[in-house]
Amino acid sequence: QVHLVESGGGLVMAGGSLRLSCAASGRTLTHYGMGWFRQAPGKERECVATISASTTTYYADSVKGRFTISRDNAKNAVYLQMNSLKPEDTAVYYCAARTSRWTSSRHEDYHYWGQGTQVTVSS
């Protein structure tokens, strides 16, 4: 069993930055594909970024060039650096783990989820 806890969300003005962290316990994430997803009110959960066990990354077009996903296997953690934030980035952000070295942009393919952290970007 993997337990994921996100942190780092908050309220920021447009153009600002936030760094989300996802700390894992229970099992090492070294061989797991990891992803960050977000869900805004009234919208479906969408993939923001993923990183494989070999650190291959994927970004949604809406965040490319602004967000960076990374992982630190020594700390059993995954991060999402978010720069140049926009009001449309406002959502609850979730960390997810997949019991595969590879990643997927489909939330159905992930087996473990954190409780989420709220990110609010004001204009």
CA–CA separation, 48 vs 52, rounded Å?
A: 14
Cβ neighbour number for residue 64 with a 10 Å cutoff:
10
Please tell me the predicted confidence (pLDDT) of residue 82.
98
Please tell me the predicted confidence (pLDDT) of residue 107.
96
Question: Please, which pLDDT band fits residue 56 given cuts at 50, 70 and 90?
Answer: very high
Across the strands, what pairs with 112? 97
Question: Please, which pLDDT band fits residue 26 given cuts at 50, 70 and 90?
Answer: very high
CA–CA separation, 43 vs 84, rounded Å?
A: 22
> Percent of the chain having pLDDT more than 70?
100
> Percent of the chain having pLDDT more than 90?
99
Please tell me the predicted confidence (pLDDT) of residue 23.
97
CA–CA separation, 91 vs 85, rounded Å?
A: 12
pLDDT per residue as tens digits for the range 3-21? 999 999 999 999 999 999 9
Cβ neighbour number for residue 63 with a 10 Å cutoff:
22
Assigned token pair, 13: 């003005």
